[in-house]
Amino acid sequence: MKMETPNADKLVARTDEWNAIYSFIEWLQEKKIWLAHTITYREYYGDHEWGYKDEPMDTMVPIPQNIESLLYEYFNVNPSELERERRATLDSIREGNVSFTRVK
């Protein structure tokens, strides 16, 4: 029986690309170069009764995501679904109910 693993399949098909991007971002971090984004006044100061607008500031802050989260988003992979697929695959292997097809 072939299991449906759409999230895992996306990653397997683009493993080389994932590895290259991951390595590049790690290299940037070693050089103290961080990915950053602009934030709004509301994000910076928070919600107050006098109300800050959602207008962008001239301030850049490091993005709050780790490398894996960014890559999952880039590759359109749901990490929770991916983990479910992995667990289901392992369960099927233990039960002897899965066949493997080598991906090239």
- Asked if residue 99 lies in contact with residue 1, where contact means CB atoms within 8 angstroms, the answer is yes
Decide: pTM greater than 0.85: no
Residue 63 CA to residue 33 CA, distance in Å, equals: 12
Q: Would you kindly state where each structural domain of the chain is located, as residue ranges?
A: 6-95
pLDDT in tens, 31-58: 999 999 888 888 878 776 666 677 778 8
Low-confidence residues of the chain, pLDDT below 70?
1-2, 48-52, 98-104
Diameter of the chain by CA atoms?
A: 63
Residue 30 CB neighbours (<10 A): 8
Cα 46 to Cα 34, 37, 51, 58, 61, distances in angstroms: 23, 17, 9, 16, 15
